[in-house]
């Protein structure tokens, strides 16, 4: 069988590098090009093969069957359009085409992109199979929405109530560009909240999907920066209408047979998930509160299930491959 020719745009960022490595090891993919504006011409070694980074402008889009765009938000949509015009299917890892973000760039505002399926694979698989373009979810939304979905779909969340999410991410979530705030000497032994008060750019994406999943709920989301390289842990508190005897069954039922969702009796931690394309979830009820409340904990590797891994998972769906092909479980 001919391999599927794959291009990566934005190959020098953390998600882009992870994509290149996954593509290079994928048995059905062949890495056609890796484009990185700032490092064009540089020779890199990925998964045992030498490769020259190209500029996006020079990327042979027409040779690719599939393009992953890991370009920055606002800059990605136009390259999705260019890749489509050249005949490739596209997985867009930026926020440009995600629910609630379609006006991020002029290209993203075009009608063609008003209904791009959202690649939260486990929940949206039906809409992905025949698609040409997929909006790959953000890292925080992946952890939080996979964690929340069983409660939302079963109508167990108190209507109108606020869902509280406190989450923390490793520094690769903040990008690979050198910034003072992300220097080792600033981050080590530190911990801080950011985008406090619902200011994070993933808010719209989560709000829209919560609604699609049947929730009439506000979201209060506080992200934090962790002194670790990779991983996201989301602590989600949900006011519920009733309590059930074995709450983990709600997750076990919905995600039955899913290769990339792990339901755990013990609380998941980053060590459980780093370098793996999984969401690991646990949940329990709080004691000593008048309003019945469930605490859901979800952990992912922000670069794997939160970015490059899920992108490959979606690409596997688009091309009719086994969903686990080329992905570390």
Distance CA 143, CA 148 (A): 9
Any catalytic annotation for residue 249?
no
Catalytic option among 9, 24, 35, 139? 139
Of the ranges 61-69, 104-112, 136-144, 270-278, which one interacts with its own copies (CB under 8 A)? 270-278
CB of 142 to its own copies, least distance (A): 17
Alpha-carbon Rg for the chain in angstroms:
19
170 belongs to the binding site for its own copies (CB under 8 A): yes
Q: Which of 87, 111, 109, 83 is nearest to 96 (CA)?
A: 109
Which residue, 47 or 129, is less far from its own copies as judged by CB? 47
> Which one of residues 42, 110, 218, 322 is an interface residue with its own copies (CB under 8 A)?
218
Query: Which burial class, exposed, middle or buried, applies to 2 when counting CB atoms under 10 A from its CB (0-12, 13-18, 19+)?
Result: exposed
- Which residues have a Cβ under 8 Å from the Cβ of 178 and sit 6 or more positions away? none
110 belongs to the binding site for its own copies (CB under 8 A): no
267 belongs to the binding site for its own copies (CB under 8 A): yes
At 235, give phi and psi (nearest 5°). -110, 115
305 belongs to the binding site for its own copies (CB under 8 A): no
Q: Are 128 and 317 in contact (CB under 8 A)?
A: yes
Name the CA dihedral angle for 9, 15, 20, 23, rounded to a multiple of 10 degrees.
Answer: -100
Beta-bridge mates of residue 235: 166, 297
CB of 151 to its own copies, least distance (A): 15
Which residue, 246 or 271, is less far from its own copies as judged by CB? 271
86 belongs to the binding site for its own copies (CB under 8 A): no
Q: Are 255 and 261 in contact (CB under 8 A)?
A: yes
Distance CA 91, CA 67 (A): 6
Q: Which of 106, 147, 113 is nearest to 232 (CA)?
A: 147
Which residue shows structure tokens 């939304």?
141
CB of 231 to its own copies, least distance (A): 7
Which residue, 138 or 268, is less far from its own copies as judged by CB? 268
Classify 198 in phi/psi space as left (phi over 0), alpha (psi -120 to 50) or beta.
left
At 163, give phi and psi (nearest 5°). -95, 125
In the range 12-51, which residues lie near its own copies by CB under 8 A? 14, 48
Of the ranges 3-11, 65-73, 75-83, 220-228, which one interacts with its own copies (CB under 8 A)? 220-228
102 belongs to the binding site for its own copies (CB under 8 A): no
Which residue, 83 or 302, is less far from its own copies as judged by CB? 302
244 belongs to the binding site for its own copies (CB under 8 A): no
Q: Which x/- pattern over 126-165 shows residues binding its own copies (rule: CB under 8 A)?
A: ----------------------------------x-x-x-
Binding-site size, its own copies (CB under 8 A): 67
Which pair of tokens denotes residue 325? Answer: 């092909």
253 belongs to the binding site for its own copies (CB under 8 A): no
- β-bridge pairing 192-193 and 218-225: antiparallel
- Which helix (H) or strand (E) is 91 found in, with range? strand 89-92
Beta-bridge mates of residue 184: none
In the range 174-203, which residues lie near its own copies by CB under 8 A? 176, 178-180, 182-194, 196-199, 203
Which residue, 218 or 253, is less far from its own copies as judged by CB? 218
State the catalytic residues.
139
The contact set with its own copies (CB under 8 A) reads 14, 48, 160, 162, 164, 166, 168, 170-172, 176, 178-180, 182-194, 196-199, 203, 207, 218-220, 222, 224, 226-231, 233, 235, 237, 239, 267-271, 274-275, 284-291, 293, 295, 297, 329
């Amino acid at each position: 069988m001919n391999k599927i020719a794959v291009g990566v745009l934005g190959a020098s960022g953390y998600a882009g590098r992870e994509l290149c490595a996954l593509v290079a090891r994928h048995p059905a993919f062949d890495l056609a090009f890796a484009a990185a504006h700032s490092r064009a011409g540089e020779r890199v070694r990925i998964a045992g093969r030498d490769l020259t980074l190209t500029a996006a402008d020079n990327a042979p889009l027409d040779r690719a069957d599939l393009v992953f765009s890991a370009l920055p938000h606002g800059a990605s949509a136009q390259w999705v359009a260019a890749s489509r015009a050249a005949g490739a299917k596209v997985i867009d890892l930026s926020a440009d085409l995600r629910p609630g973000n379609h006006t991020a760039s002029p290209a993203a505002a075009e009608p063609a992109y008003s209904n791009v399926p959202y690649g939260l694979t486990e929940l949206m698989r039906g809409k992905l199979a025949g698609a040409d373009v997929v909006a790959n979810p953000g890292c925080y939304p992946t952890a939080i929405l996979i964690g929340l979905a069983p409660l939302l779909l079963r109508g167990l969340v108190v209507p109108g109530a606020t869902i509280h999410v406190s989450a923390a991410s490793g520094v690769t979530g903040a990008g690979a560009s050198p910034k003072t705030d992300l220097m080792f000497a600033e981050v080590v032994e530190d911990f801080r909240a950011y985008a406090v008060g619902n200011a994070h750019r993933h808010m719209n994406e989560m709000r829209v999907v919560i609604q699609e999943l049947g929730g009439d709920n506000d979201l209060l989301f506080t992200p934090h920066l962790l002194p670790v390289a990779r991983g996201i842990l989301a602590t989600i508190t949900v006011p519920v209408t009733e309590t059930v005897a074995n709450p983990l069954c709600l997750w076990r039922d919905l995600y039955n047979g899913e290769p990339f969702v792990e339901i755990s009796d013990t609380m998941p931690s980053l060590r459980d998930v780093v370098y793996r394309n999984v969401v690991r979830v646990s949940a329990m009820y709080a004691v000593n509160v008048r309003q019945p409340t469930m605490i859901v904990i979800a952990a992912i590797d922000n670069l794997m299930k939160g970015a490059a891994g899920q992108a490959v998972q979606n690409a596997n769906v688009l091309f009719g491959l086994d969903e686990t092909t080329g992905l570390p479980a």
